[in-house]
A and B are shown apart, each in its own frame.
Chain A
Amino acid sequence: MKKTLLLLLTMSLLAHTAYAQEESDDSSSETPAAETTAKKSPGTRSQESWGISLSTVQWNETLRVQDGINMSRQPANYNAIIVTLMKEITYYRWGWSAGVFIGSGRANGGVAGEGYLQDKVAFTTYGASPRGFYRFSGRINAGITLMGMYKNIDWPRETSTQIVDAGRNLYVGGLLDLNIRLFKKWDFYSGVGPLTEGTTLWKIGANYRF
């Protein structure tokens, strides 16, 4: 964990230093990135930026609870806060970004009176979230975020013979998303998409661009 944090901090500092001398970009204007220049054709000029985001991710899953010969499926809700460090490159109408994230949260699972019930079970998660997007204007873009996510959770056993299977720990899913530039350095991001069969993941947060 300490190594990961150190790595993230180092990357953040390096990014900040590297771009400290960049010319200011009035990115809150309506004009897409390349419209302001006449030197290069709109399709080729790009802008790069580093950013950090604070988001909430929420999804549901099914727990398989086995106790002896009895097996039941129980709903579980996961709710986490994640911090993402990302780099974004935008062209005239298109753009992409790549980020790594780490976070933690709480999960509730089971149903009262149906054999299993646990609340506020702590878990951690980390992963990568590359994104490709189309720019409707300088302030609005929509696209697809690919979520590669690993969760780490131990659901407590209520009896010594109970086995609680939380399903897969590694997910790869796609989110349809919308990113709104509210102010020059602040974005509002929202994405939704399927995670596993019958479950949906939400990612909602704020991005800050260095």
Chain B
Amino acid sequence: MGNLSASIHARYRFLLIISSPHLEFLIVRHIKYLLAVFIFATILQTETAEAYPDFIGYSYSSCITCHYNGLGGGALNDYGRALFAGEITSRAVFPKKMEDEEISMMSGFLGTKQLPWWFRPGLKYRGLWLKTSPGSKNTIEKFYNMQNDVNVNFFLDKKQTYALISTVGYTGQEAYYGKTNTWFMREYYLRWKQSNNLWIYLGQMDKAFGIRNVDHSAVNRKVITLGQFDQSQGAIAHFTYPDWDIALNAFFGNAAQEDNAKQKGFSIAGEYQVYEKFKVGGSFLTSESDLEKWKLAAFTTRMGLSKGSAIMAEVGLKERTPQIGVTDPELGTYALVQTLVSLERGYNLLSVIEHSKRTITESSDESMKWAVGALMFPLPRTELRVMGVNNKTYPSSGGAEDQWSLQGQVHVSY
């Protein structure tokens, strides 16, 4: 984790040494040096979860290295921005003589221009091009503006002990609790760093459970109440230590939901580092609304393979009990295995295999999905994905044909 910060540290030390003749110049440089060291030291002080969880392949096993939320997702912090511009990204557009740290130092919201310590804004966009059944007469082509977020983050002190993190989103075509083409508050929470080992979060945020992989349509996200609009009001206490972390989350539903649909309950999620770049974890969640009750349990693991390459998996049980009428609980299973192989800096092979079964207590359909393609970071702040997706459904009775689709995705983060 320390490569980037160490090189930035070295760069500022170098500047400090060579700028000795003029005191004013020295002081300015020294302040910048302290600021840079302070920002990165603050970020590096803690352990927890992930940038993309796959980046354990770069030895980034903790989310808080790159995100303000110690469990991952949401706005990137200064280090995350630097990473998105530097270590994981192709540097083909930059001159060879330009150092990595110089590129990373341009990753601020306004490039190299420093913003005041108490304010960090951000912009995030994701668009998805989807073509189903390519080559057939039934092909459908669509483009979705999936994510249009504005992050506004305030800090009450330079150590970022107290932080107010908020994300405002624009729905586009995808309805946010029945509303389209409207702005909404995706997340807003107060983060209190009680100590290096305890972080408290209060407000509306993602629930603590499983691996927060970015694909909100995956079997371990949307279908088990952990989708892109399933942030929930509540509180999280996140205990973090070098080899393990555990988060306790009490939640009360999303503020935009109807009261009878609000899932209220609690969850626990934790990870243990068996050895460097190998983590195992577990999660449990129980919640209910007037409409349905959920119980989830999952085993998770993430393993770095070589620089930039990783494999991770989540295997879980999901029990859904409709609250209306006399209906037995549906106890089902899901599994996800995601492999990221770094081919060259900024260019990766991505394979995601998913399996789910609605219920295992009686005969039910099996759904399987395999997405294979490229995950690319060709430019700073820019991610592209090109995936071929094969869907198989094994019905409880009879047969079904394969379904293919092609997906292209662009992600820009400022």
Contact = CB atoms under 8 A, between A and B. Distances in A.
B400 A75 contact: yes
Contacts of B372: 176, 192
A192 B370 contact: yes
B134 interface: no
A198 to B, nearest CB: 7
B276 to A, nearest CB: 12
B399 A136 contact: no
A139 B339 CA distance: 12
Interface residues of A, number: 36
Interface residues of B, number: 26
Nearest to A112: B398
Interface in B187-214: none
B399 A110 contact: yes
B62 interface: no
Interface stretch (B67-75, B144-152, B175-183, B303-311): B303-311
B349 interface: yes
A119 B398 CA distance: 6
B341 interface: yes
B349 A190 contact: no
Nearest to A106: B394
Contacts of B305: 137, 139-140, 180-181
A162 interface: no
Contact of B398 (A58, A117, A176, A198): A117
Contacts of B349: 142, 178
Interface string B301-341: 00101100101000000000000000000000000010101
Interface in A89-128: 108-112, 117-119
Nearest to B394: A77
Contacts of B394: 58, 77, 79, 108
A172 interface: no
Interface string B336-372: 0101010100000101010000000000000010101
A26 interface: no
B395 interface: yes
A79 B368 CA distance: 12
Given A109-B399, A110-B398, A178 B341 contact: yes
A192 B311 CA distance: 18
Q: In this complex, which of B351, B368, B390 has the most chain A Cβ atoms within 10 angstroms of its Cβ?
A: B351
Contacts of A190: 337, 339, 351, 353
B306 A136 contact: yes
A79 B366 CA distance: 11
B390 A192 contact: yes
B402 interface: yes
Contacts of B401: 60, 75, 198
Interface string A186-209: 001010100000111010100000
25 contacts: A58-B368, A74-B398, A75-B400, A76-B399, A77-B392, A108-B399, A110-B398, A111-B399, A119-B397, A136-B309, A137-B306, A140-B306, A176-B372, A178-B341, A180-B311, A180-B339, A188-B311, A188-B337, A192-B372, A198-B402, A200-B390, A200-B402, A202-B368, A202-B390, A204-B353
